[in-house]
Amino acid sequence: MQPSRRAIIAAGALLPTAASAVGAAAQGRSDFPFDGVYLDAAFTHPLGRFAAAAGEAYLAARLTGPQAVSPRQNPRRGAVERFARLINADPADIAVVPSTLVGENLVNAALGAGPGAGVVTDALHYDASLALYGEMARRGAYVAVARPKGGAIDLADIRRLITDQTRLIAVSLVSGYTGFEYDLAELCALAHARGVLVYADLVQAAGAVPVDVKASGVDFACCGTYKWLMADFGAAFLYVRRDRLDRLTRPEVGWRQVRSQDSHVFPFETPGPALGAYKLASDAVGLFEVSTPAWGALAIASASLDYVLNLGVDAIARHRQPLIDHLQAVLPGHGFISLTPQGSRTPIVAFAAQGAAQRFDARLAAEHISISTYDNRIRISPSVYNSPEDVERLIQVLSRP
């Protein structure tokens, strides 16, 4: 018997179409029907057939049944459970928020970050996050930013920047600039020894490299779904270590937090004050979820997380690593300066090249090749659908005089 559309939406039960290991790029490529050569998953990962099917099922259910999705029946639980499995967390410790940066803002607000409660970060963190901390510094908070060395951040520099005003260390676990990856357990041990908490942006990490929030001891972590989780925009998962909840103040209030609420203003209700008594939850959801999450995005995320989990992050990385290594070995011989630490296991490899966008944008477009280009940098980020032939085509285009 086929499951109903309602059951698919509630459980996120669409199965991935790939084999249990990446093996050959041909299998992965068949699941992602985009045009051209796409080496820009760090910007946004292409949607796979499995993700599109989940989105179509969600929309079909909403089209024929206005209440097929509701607060009682929706894809949230399935998506959260899958993400929790990916990062070794308890589902109860994960809230759904609109984006990674919203999650980071909420964590700072809940900690009371500001004057007297400052932040240490680094220049390889997400650029909009750096603007967040720049604004905080303008308002009188102690904010310190570590500079990169050789495309990486030295933990000794982080240690030196911690003062008695530091409340939080906020970093990208994998930098979207260079692909540098922190040893998260070491960073957390360093911070906790000084009474400081750690926030990790996982958006370039989860689904691409192994992440274990329990083993690392990280206090907060957040990840949007549209990069290495292979889903769509509009949803993110915010992990909050349970034994840190008592240090937090609720930053916003909404219906997702309400566990009970009394009314005394309508017929047949017991008399009482117009503002009836209510109770708010105090777990991760109770502090950070506010209103209706993007259920459509979560339906897609359930299917894409099934795909990632079924392939396995280790297999994804094994497929990708030779492509990264080849780029690291060849492009410097054509005048590109590597910005990515040698031996990196992340999905991002970046190079400095003067006038990069001006030099390469037109020729890349003509060859239908997508990477990220900047004024003086390029960033390449292969995924499961890429092959050695894709990388060779890119090298040929970039190495032309």
Rg value, the chain, Cα: 23
The amino acid sitting at 6 is R
DSSP state of 163: -
Positive or negative, the CA dihedral 201, 348, 53, 8 is negative
SS3 content of the chain, % helix, strand, coil (to 5): 40, 15, 40
Q: Identify the segments of the chain with pLDDT beneath 50.
A: 1-26
Q: Are 394 and 380 in contact (CB under 8 A)?
A: yes
- Could you give the residue ranges of the DSSP H alpha helices within 270-373? 284-288, 295-311, 313-330, 356-366
Rounded to the nearest 10°, the torsion over CA 47, 53, 59, 61 is -150
Q: Which residues contact 102 (CB under 8 A, 6 or more apart)?
A: 236
pLDDT at 10: 44
The whole-model pTM stands at 0.93
Burial of 358 (0-12, 13-18, 19+ CB in 10 A): exposed
Give the pair of three-digit tokens for residue 234.
Answer: 């509009």
**Two structure tokens written together for 243:** 């034994």
Provide the 3-class DSSP secondary structure of residue 263.
coil
pLDDT attached to residue 185? 98
Strand positions, DSSP E, 173-280: 197-201, 220-224, 236-240, 258-261, 278-280
CA 201 from chain centre, in angstroms, equals: 7
384 and 24 Cβ atoms separated by less than 8 Å: no
Q: What is the model's pLDDT at position 27?
A: 56
Give the per-residue pLDDT at 28.
74
pLDDT at res. 18: 39
Domains in the chain, start-ordered, CATH in brackets? Answer: 76-307 (3.40.640.10), 313-398 (3.90.1150.10)
Using the structure block, give the residue that is written with the tokens 């506010």: 290
Q: Can you give the pLDDT at residue 401?
A: 87
